[in-house]
Amino acid sequence: MEVGLDTNARKNRSSKIFQNLVQLLLERKLKNLQNIRIKSEDRSIKTVRNKKADFVIYKRDIPKVVIECNFYSETGSKPIETANAYIDFQRKIREKGLQFIWITDGRGWKEMRNTIIQSSKEIDFLLNYTIASEKIAKIIPLII
């Protein structure tokens, strides 16, 4: 029982740490854009399985971009399931006139290269942390 709890606790911590890093990145890179607000854990736009969006970027108080982030230190069915769910989610979010960015990283993707390649063909903005750090300030103004 303790081992299972510890494993889940570590998984939740690494995901939360990654989400916090992405939030700091977004705040730092987008701070000079006018009329832009970043809202974390936004309940107004439901994502996969009706969970709250990790981040929503608003321009003049109108939602424009939904950002989800995930970190995977292990391979397995969860990252594959998440990738497939986000492909479907992007279709649904487009119907609402919004853009979708998925920021994902971690060594778990190294052995699931085919999944990430297929996802990149389906998801317009699939970024790892390094690419997000280099390009997010250029991407956001183009899509909002």
Q: Tens digits of per-residue pLDDT, 127-142?
A: 999 999 999 999 999 9
What confidence score (pLDDT) does residue 6 get?
Answer: 42
What confidence score (pLDDT) does residue 5 get?
Answer: 41
| Selection from 108, 107, 90 nearest residue 99 by Cα | 90
What confidence score (pLDDT) does residue 13 get?
Answer: 66
How sure is the predictor about 125, in pLDDT bands with cuts at 50, 70 and 90?
very high
Instruction: Reply yes or no on whether the pLDDT at 99 is more than 70.
Output: yes
Q: Are 63 and 93 in contact (CB under 8 A)?
A: no
Cβ-proximal residues to 11 (8 Å cutoff; 6+ apart), any chain = 73
Query: What architecture does CATH give domain 2-143?
Result: 3-Layer(aba) Sandwich (3.40)
- Determine the average pLDDT of the residues in 78-91: 85
* Domain spans in the chain, listed from the N-terminal domain onward: 2-143
Instruction: Reply yes or no on whether the pLDDT at 28 is more than 50.
Output: yes
How sure is the predictor about 26, in pLDDT bands with cuts at 50, 70 and 90?
very high
